[in-house]
Structure formats: C-alpha cells, structure tokens
Amino acid sequence: MSPDADPTPIRVLVVGPSAKGGVNRLFDAVRAELAAHPFPDIRVRSLTTRADVPGRLGAAIAAPGIFAAALVQEIALLVTRRIDVVHVNLASYGSTYRKLVIAACAALFGVPYVVHLHGGNFRAFWSSCGAWLMRRIDAMFEGAARIIVMSRSALDVVAERLPACRAAIVVLPNAAPRGRPRTLDRDDRIRILFLGKLGPLKGTVELVAALDLLRSEPAWSAIIAGDGAVAETRSAVDRLGLSTRIAVPGWLGDAEVARALESADVLVLPSHVENSPLAVIEAFAHGLAVVATPVGAVPDLVDHGQTGVLVPAGDAAALADALRRLIGEPELRRRLGANANAFHERHLEIGAYVRRLADVWRGAAGRVDRCR
C-alpha cells in the first residue's frame, strides 16, 4: 500500500513506558525520523503507562496513578474513534500485566492492535505464569492484527506456543540513526563503553572482573553506564581500586549516550539474556568495535571476527582476552568498526526501520481479522 493510497491518515497510538531502556531510545528515534520525514497517511501519538520516579517507594506509589491516567486516555480516544491502531510495546512482568489491559480495551472497541515484543527473557516468563495468566497472554497474541518480534529466535518464542499466529508475525530488528563523527581525545587510551541495565543478566559482574584482569594494561579506561545495580557496581570497582579507570555514572540521557558513543573505541555487552540489543546497534552506527555474547539475536548482528567479537556468557577470562586483543590491535578495532558501520547502513538504519514499521501499521489498519 503506497503512502498516498488513502487520503485519510491512519492514527496510531503507541503505548509503552517513558522510562529507562532501549525501547525508549528506539521510539525516540522513530518519532524523530517521522518528524523529519513524515508519511502523509500516518499520524502517531504516544501514551505512557510507566514513568521514571525516583526511589522504589515513590515508583510504587506513582505507578498505579500513571497507568490509570494512561488507561483513561486510551479509552477516551477509543470511545471518540480517534485511534485506528494501537501499538503495544511488550516486555515481561509488569509490562505484560499493563498491556493485557491496554490490548483488551482496544479489542473491546474493535480497534486492531499490534503487539511489539521487546523482552529478552519472555519465553521463561511466559512459561512460568499460572494457567489463568498464561491463557490471557495467549489471547492477547491471538487477538493481535500483527505481532512484531526482533529476531527469528523471538519468532519461535511465539510461534512454537501459538502456531496459528505465525502468519501475523513480522521480524523487525531494532535500528538506530546513523552515528555522528567520533570525537576521540588525543591521548592513547582505549575507551571501553557499556550501556545497559547493570546487574547479573547484563554480565556487569563479569565485566568488572575482566577489567580487573586488565589492570596491568596501561592504555584503557571504561564507562559502565545504566540503571540497575549502580551502587553495587561502584562498590565493586572501588574495592578493586579501579575507580580512577572505571566510571560508573548511572543512567545517561540520550545526549549523554550520544557523546559516550562518539568518544568510545569499544562497546562491550557481556549479557546472559538479550533480544536485539540497541546498544550494539548504536555502536555499529558509530563504527565501534563490539565485544558481546552469543545470546538472543546478538549472533544475527555480530558476525564473530567480522562485525565484532563473541565470547561465552559468564566467562570473565575470555572477555578480558577479547578486550586485551582489541586494546593492543588498532587495525583490528578499525576493521571491525568499519564492517559494523557498513552492516548498520545496509540493515539497521532508522529510516528503513520506520518505513517497515509504517507498513505494519498499514497492514494492521487494513485487516482486523485475528490470527486464530
């Protein structure tokens, strides 16, 4: 369907958190791309079901009110027929509980919805649910006009449990805008960057241990940035006496992430669980050498020895060896970064992503039949 086939715009409501994480950076980039290159047949508005509130107690108190306000807004838009497609960003646990209600409201008013699965550990979560909740999740997928997943492995998560939904599934890997020119300092330090949720699932424990193994290497510094186990990571760095070489700044905003990527040489993501990690894609967009683990959709992105280096999850020694090699071999860093940047330009650029996403919305608006 061409963008100008129907003069009436498709009104899309994107529902998801205004919180820390890759999905938020992804949809910030989507909105920016649509603002710069709008489609005449697509109109998008966003609705927040969860926001960042300082402190666990504050977040717990604010969460019900934030979700209730979002639900009221969705229902008002549905009642007044001002929405044609609801786009539901879905992860595990609280995200699932909220999105079950959002999707059910869309179905109640006969408005097609798209389920966009982001959670890297959704298979384990889904299989751990009780029978009642499992049936509700099944029904949400079965009622979707389209289901977006980020990889073939994520497709299998849905299709193996709900084979009748296979025809509704669209594989759409994450994407990022093209990186700006890098702004490296004049000294000889190699800058290592981690972006993500600090803690065991992202492998930051092994990362700190690997950097400790590199303490005799003089020519590196590191930034371990993100939310999660920030205090614990800082304490571990301090105990090892590495605080002058490893910064743990906590969460970085979009502008700070961009600056960190522009000044880095190596992106490291030693995760135990992943889907299609935006940090790797952003590193590709900036031409960085990448060290990652072969989990989730990472092997779809990182071709070992070509667009990056893969090491076993949980292996601090192997991680240290990979980083040591990249520190000592500038030509290898340059080659991996150039190959990664070319791969990004061919497959992971945000403009192509938004065009495919718009086609998903068009398909959802054009056919409201369910996949069951």
CATH architecture, range 10-175+349-366: 3-Layer(aba) Sandwich (3.40)
Sheet holding 85-90, edge to edge: 42-51, 10-18, 85-90, 113-117, 146-149, 169-171
Across 52-56, 198-202, 292-296, least confident range: 52-56
Per cent of the chain over pLDDT 90 is: 82
Higher pLDDT, 347 or 24: 347
What mean pLDDT, rounded, does the chain reach?
91
Distance CA 286, CA 306 (A): 16
Angle in degrees, CA 368, 8, 36, rounded to 5:
105
Q: Which of 54-63, 119-128, 165-174, 360-369 has the lowest mean pLDDT?
A: 54-63
Quick one: CATH architecture of 190-347?
A: 3-Layer(aba) Sandwich (3.40)
- C-alpha 169/C-alpha 159 separation (Å) is 8
Q: pLDDT, tens digit, for every residue of 74-103?
A: 999 999 999 999 999 999 999 999 999 999
For 178-217, write each residue's pLDDT tens digit.
987 666 554 679 999 999 999 999 999 999 999 999 999 9
Q: Which token pair is 53?
A: 């509130």
Give residue 163's Cα distance to chain centre.
25
Give the Cα-Cα-Cα angle 185, 24, 50 (nearest 5 degrees). 135
Q: Which residue has 């019900």 as its token pair?
A: 64
Sign of the four-CA dihedral 183, 191, 268, 197: negative
Q: Which residue intervals of the chain bear CATH 3.40.50.2000?
A: 10-175+349-366, 190-347
Cα angle 27-28-30, degrees, rounded to a multiple of 5: 55
For 129-239, strand residue ranges (E) read 146-149, 169-171, 190-195, 220-225
Q: What is the pLDDT of residues 311-357, one digit of tens each?
A: 999 999 999 999 999 999 999 999 999 999 999 999 999 999 999 99
Q: With 60 as the cut, is the pLDDT of residue 367 above it?
A: no
What is the pTM for the complete model shown? 0.89
The percent of residues in the chain predicted with pLDDT above 70, rounded, is 91
Quick one: pLDDT at residue 364?
A: 97
Does 55 score more than 60 pLDDT?
A: no
